[in-house]
Amino acid sequence: MAWALTPLTEEQQEIQHLAREFAAREIAPYSAAWDRDAHFEPSLVQKLGELGFLGMMIPEQYDGLGLDTLTYLIALEEIATVDASVAVMLSVHNSLPTQMLLRWGTEEQKERFLKPMARGELLGAFALSEPEAGSDAASLRTQAVLDGDSWVLNGTKAWVSSGTKGEVIIAMARTDTPDDRRGARGISAFIVTPDLPGFSVGKKEDKMGLRASPTVQLHFSDMRIPADRLLGHVGSGFIYAMQSLDNGRLGIAAQSVGIAEAALRQAATYAAERKQFGRPIKEFQAIQFKLADMATRVASARALLHLAARAKDRGEKIRQFSAMAKLLASESAMWVTTQAIQIFGGYGYIKDYPVERLFRDAKVTEIYEGTSEIQRIVIARELYSH
Ligand code: CAA
């Protein structure tokens, strides 16, 4: 990280160093091949778990590292500078299912699911979207019906990150009835595991970017879930999902800053080496202005993200702040990677350099965990909420 809002604490520097070393040793040599082959490397989960990176914000009493949000995001940015696919796996696991279990789970649920997740023995996923319910998440159709001491779920979830590998999936389903539709208040959250009868993994998406992160559909066909797998209260699942996405969006913002930082560094290095018209192209003002604007956008996105993280760590409401951080960081990542390709010229358009992967990986940050348009809606609504 080239620049931080305030000096990092010793602990933050240590975690940042650990993430940087790990990414350089265990991820960087393989990233291009994983991207090419759309390969998710399962051994990474165990290795990241051993470092504690799958329980970063989980308190020590539940086998986590008990770090604050800012420290977690600093580590996530480091991983994302090397591989955005690994970063999204970490972001989803650390920001969504584990935080939902921590906040709304019973002690039994924490013992059974959260502790092994914190140790990296079980990987988490989050299933809100459906083929017909993306930005309008409250229109989801997966139905859960209470039958004796279990819930029976039918429906299809879509765009589930880590979906082929997810071992603990927090899935949102309707618990209202066709005669008594309750909108966002008719949705509940469930702890789903792949061993449940009626669970199956559907289509694996063939994506433009983040190719080493498996994104799948999940099918629930008369899937029986024991009643004690309901998370929190009936009818609160949508609210839980929205509150969790306030955290998740900070993770995606950190991923975006990491992608942008990597593009900036690679473009700056290339501009110093590449000669045209008898000089390194960094000596041309056209290139200098691009690099200056790229560096400014990376620094602003990181600054807003760190402000939002600090607000969260102070216990403040961050709905608007996290939407702003994600909006600025994801649009900066797309813009910065586009400029980086331009600086590389033809070499940016081929796979010899990793910059084209950064460009492909950046695009989804403007789409998932709420599109840029949804972030703008959240930000604008909050202007009138007081
Ligand atoms: N925190 C707490 N409560 C919230 C909230 C938040 N951030 N956002 C909404 N709510 C509450 C509202 O207060 C309201 O509560 P009441 O019933 O008490 O009034 C209720 O939830 C319904 O809210 P809205 O009326 O605002 O709901 P809406 O239908 O208009 O939708 C939306 C709002 C912001 C558009 C929301 O649907 C949204 O964020 N959509 C995008 C969905 C999204 O981000 N999906 C990403 C899926 S995960 C993914 O990308 C894959 C991955 O794994 C990486």
Probe residue for ligand 1, chosen from 142, 168, 169, 242 as the CB with the greatest number of ligand atoms within 8 Å? 242
Point out the ligand 1 atom lying closest to the alpha carbon of residue 381: 26
Residue 167: strand, helix, or coil: coil
Q: For residue 378, how far is its CA from the centre of ligand 1 (angstroms)?
A: 9
Q: Could you please report the per-residue DSSP string of 114-132?
A: IHHHHTTSS-EEEE--BTT
Strand 215-226 and strand 199-204: the pairing is: antiparallel
Whole-number Cα distances in Å, 146 to 77, 140, 183: 42, 18, 19
Q: Which pLDDT score, from 0 to 100, does residue 3 have?
A: 55
Which residues' Cβ are closer than 6 Å to ligand 1? 92, 126, 128-129, 135, 137-138, 159, 161, 184-185, 238-239, 242-243, 245-246, 319, 368-370, 374, 377-378
Q: Which pLDDT score, from 0 to 100, does residue 339 have?
A: 98
Probe residue for ligand 1, chosen from 129, 239, 378 as the CB with the greatest number of ligand atoms within 8 Å? 239
The protein residue with its alpha carbon nearest to ligand 1, atom 21, reads 239
The protein residue with its alpha carbon nearest to ligand 1, atom 23, reads 184
Considering the segment(s) 10-123 as one domain, its CATH architecture is Orthogonal Bundle (1.10)
Closest CA to 3 of 295, 242, 386: 295
Point out the ligand 1 atom lying closest to the alpha carbon of residue 238: 21
Residues involved in catalysis? 369
Q: For residue 242, how far is its CA from the centre of ligand 1 (angstroms)?
A: 4
Q: For residue 245, how far is its CA from the centre of ligand 1 (angstroms)?
A: 8
Domain 125-234: CATH superfamily is: Butyryl-CoA Dehydrogenase, subunit A, domain 2 (2.40.110.10)
Helices 69-82 and 84-95, packing angle to 10 deg = 160
Q: Please say whether the dihedral angle defined by the alpha carbons of residues 164, 223, 133 and 113, taken in this order, is positive or negative.
A: negative
Point out the ligand 1 atom lying closest to the alpha carbon of residue 185: 17
Q: For residue 191, how far is its CA from the centre of ligand 1 (angstroms)?
A: 20
Q: For residue 371, how far is its CA from the centre of ligand 1 (angstroms)?
A: 12
Whole-prediction pTM value? Answer: 0.97
Point out the ligand 1 atom lying closest to the alpha carbon of residue 88: 54
Map out the domains of the chain as residue ranges: 10-123, 125-234, 239-383
CATH number of 239-383, picked from 1.10.10.10, 1.20.140.10, 3.40.50.970, 1.10.600.10 = 1.20.140.10
Distance CA(265)–CA(269), nearest Å, equals 6
Distance CA(131)–CA(154), nearest Å, equals 14
The residues facing 189 across adjacent strands are 172, 231
One digit per residue, pLDDT tens: the chain, 386 residues? 455 667 889 999 999 999 999 999 999 999 999 999 999 999 999 999 999 999 999 999 999 999 999 999 999 999 999 999 999 999 999 999 999 999 999 999 999 999 999 999 999 999 999 999 999 999 999 999 999 999 999 999 999 999 888 799 999 999 999 999 999 999 999 999 999 999 999 999 999 999 999 999 999 999 999 999 999 999 999 999 999 999 999 999 999 999 999 999 999 999 999 999 999 999 999 999 999 999 999 999 999 999 999 999 999 999 999 999 999 999 999 999 999 999 999 999 999 999 999 999 999 999 999 999 999 999 999 999 97
Backbone angles phi, psi at 40, to 5 degrees: -95, 125
- Same CATH fold assignment for domains 10-123 and 239-383: no
- Are 119 and 59 in contact by the 8 Å Cβ rule? The answer is no
